[in-house]
């Protein structure tokens, strides 16, 4: 159980709770990773470490991860300016009590040289099924890399791509201000969105029936399956998410899929069951949850 830190409320507009990683079971740490509140590096690290989390879970401050402090802010939609404002405010308040390693020449002196400078990683998570289906993703990744950004999986560095969800973030921070990094990210995102829209237009123009079948078949499986693996769910939900974007459904919102995406993760299922679950049990419980949620939506 976390212990409340009301005295640290000045870091956030909401009370913060502290999770000591050393006091948590491995399954509890994995649950925090699934919720994107800590990184896999902190989950698997050694020694004293933990995380401060606010009530809305959009602000977390990791302690003794790769660096002594890592401030993370998550916002829905492309609200990077809002996220940066929250992170900057939290950093400024921490700086009132802490001395950061800073060089006038090099900026913030971080454990990893690629973070030296502003120390800021600006990232977005974007759904790009059109580019995957048209087999253009490899070329897009090369272009994004040439612009100074890196494309990773759902959980960042070292993670696999799942459900056609890609994390895009700046590669280095040295030599650019925070504003310049955000402006460059905005440019990359706008180009990605345009490329994805073009790809979806091509798919609808060339193979509309196959795309509609893929989308509706995925909805049908989610609505009736008795067993669903984690990867299987992500692939099916990606197709349904594409259908929402193409306006093939009425009454289904992306928020529903986002909720299910988190709740059907292995350690979330285990936490909800209150006991360890083996893989077949998780697949059954995941399918049950998806069926119930799809039934609540009715006939789209």
pLDDT computed for residue 122 by the predictor? 95
Confidence of residue 297 (pLDDT cuts 50, 70, 90): confident
pLDDT computed for residue 157 by the predictor? 67
pTM of the model: 0.90
pLDDT beyond 90 at 191: yes
What's the residue count for the chain? Answer: 300
Confidence of residue 240 (pLDDT cuts 50, 70, 90): very high
Mean pLDDT of the chain: 91
pLDDT computed for residue 9 by the predictor? 52
Digit-coded pLDDT (tens) for 55-103: 999 999 999 999 999 999 999 888 999 999 999 999 998 888 888 999 9
Domain spans of the chain, in order of start: 1-100, 123-300
- Alpha-carbon gap, residue 161 to 154, rounded angstroms: 6
Q: Is 113 left (phi over 0), alpha (psi -120 to 50) or beta?
A: alpha
CATH number, span 1-100 = 3.30.590.10
DSSP states along 9-41: GGGSSS-EEEEEGGGS-HHHHHHHHHTTSS-HH
Digit-coded pLDDT (tens) for 242-269: 999 999 998 888 999 999 999 999 999 9
- Ordered strands of the 123-127 beta sheet: 123-127, 165-170, 149-152
Q: Are 128 and 200 in contact (CB under 8 A)?
A: no
Paired tokens of 100: 């950061």
């Amino acid at each position: 159980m976390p212990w409340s830190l009301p005295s640290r409320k000045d870091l956030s507009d909401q009370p913060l709770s502290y999770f000591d990683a050393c006091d948590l079971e491995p399954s509890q740490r994995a649950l925090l990773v699934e919720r994107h509140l800590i990184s896999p590096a902190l989950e698997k690290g050694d020694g004293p470490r933990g995380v401060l989390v606010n009530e809305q879970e959009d602000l977390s401050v990791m302690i003794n991860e790769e660096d002594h402090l890592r401030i993370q802010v998550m916002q829905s939609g492309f609200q990077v300016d809002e996220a940066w404002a929250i992170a900057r405010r939290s950093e400024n308040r921490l700086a009132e009590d802490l001395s950061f390693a800073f060089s006038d020449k090099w900026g913030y002196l971080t454990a990893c040289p690629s973070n030296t400078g502003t120390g800021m990683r600006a990232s977005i998570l974007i759904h790009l099924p059109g580019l995957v289906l048209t087999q253009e993703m490899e070329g897009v990744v090369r272009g994004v890399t040439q612009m100074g950004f890196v494309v990773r999986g759902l959980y960042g560095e070292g993670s696999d791509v799942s459900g056609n969800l890609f994390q895009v973030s700046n590669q280095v921070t040295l030599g650019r201000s925070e504003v310049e990094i955000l402006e460059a990210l905005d440019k990359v995102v706008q180009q990605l969105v345009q490329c994805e829209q073009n790809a979806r237009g091509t798919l609808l123009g060339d193979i509309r029936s196959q795309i509609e079948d893929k989308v509706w078949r995925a909805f049908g499986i989610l609505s009736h399956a008795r067993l669903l693996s984690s990867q299987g769910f992500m692939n099916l939900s990606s197709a349904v998410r594409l259908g929402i974007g193409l306006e093939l459904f009425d009454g289904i919102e992306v928020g529903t899929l986002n909720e299910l995406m988190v709740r059907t993760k292995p350690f979330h299922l285990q936490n909800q069951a209150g006991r360890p679950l083996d893989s077949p049990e998780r697949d059954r419980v995941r399918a049950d949850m998806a069926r119930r949620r799809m039934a609540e939506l009715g006939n789209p």
